[in-house]
Amino acid sequence: MKKHRFRSLSVSLMTAALDAGLFALCTFLLVGSSALLVARWLCGAIGAGCNFGLNRIWAFSDESGNIWTQLRRYSLAATAAVSMATLTWWVLHQLTGWDPRWLHLMSMGLVWLFFTYPLLAKWVFRPSTSP
């Protein structure tokens, strides 16, 4: 389990860098909180797609679950995680007015720690008994 946690954290850091880099670029190109809200969600979705592939290939490669079952589970988990992180980002931005790039990183970290990793380890990448 420790191997999974370390590898999944490494994958998450790599894909978070992609996600955060894309979002930082968007903050320079887009104006208005509505545009940034959409960009926040889209950047998260792009990062999530990369995250699934890398987690399946490397972090949880010893799990024998069916890829289609895992992809369905991951799609649900990632949609919820990206939406939660976006909502967290928006609420924090409204309450604090802090730099949206820092809030982006903060929201990703909170959601990964308390939601995404537990779901990946215990639900998404666990071996499936059905095809």
Distance CA 42, CA 95 (A): 22
Number of domains in the chain: 1
* pLDDT tens for each residue of 11-57: 988 998 999 999 999 988 887 778 888 998 999 899 999 999 998 88
Kindly state whether residue 102 falls inside one of the protein's structural domains. Answer: yes
Specify the pTM: 0.76
Among residues 120, 37, 124, the alpha carbon closest in space to that of 85 is found at 37
Q: What percent of the chain has a predicted confidence (pLDDT) above 90?
A: 44
- DSSP H helices, 1-131, are 2-29, 33-54, 67-96, 100-111, 117-119
Dihedrals phi, psi of 64, to nearest 5 degrees: -105, 25
129 lies in some domain: no
Residue 122 to residue 104: CA distance in whole angstroms: 26
Whether residue 80 lies inside any domain: the answer is: yes
Instruction: Judge whether 131 lies within some domain.
Output: no
The predicted model gives 107-127 an average pLDDT of 85
Q: Provide the domain limits for residue 70.
A: 2-124
Rounded to an integer, the average pLDDT of 74-97 is 93
| Residue 131 scores a pLDDT above 60 | no
What's at 51, amino acid-wise? N
Q: Has residue 47 been placed in a domain? A: yes
Mean pLDDT over each residue of the chain, to the nearest integer: 86
In a domain, 85, yes or no: yes
Identify whether 130 is part of a domain. no
Counting every residue, how long is the chain?
Answer: 131
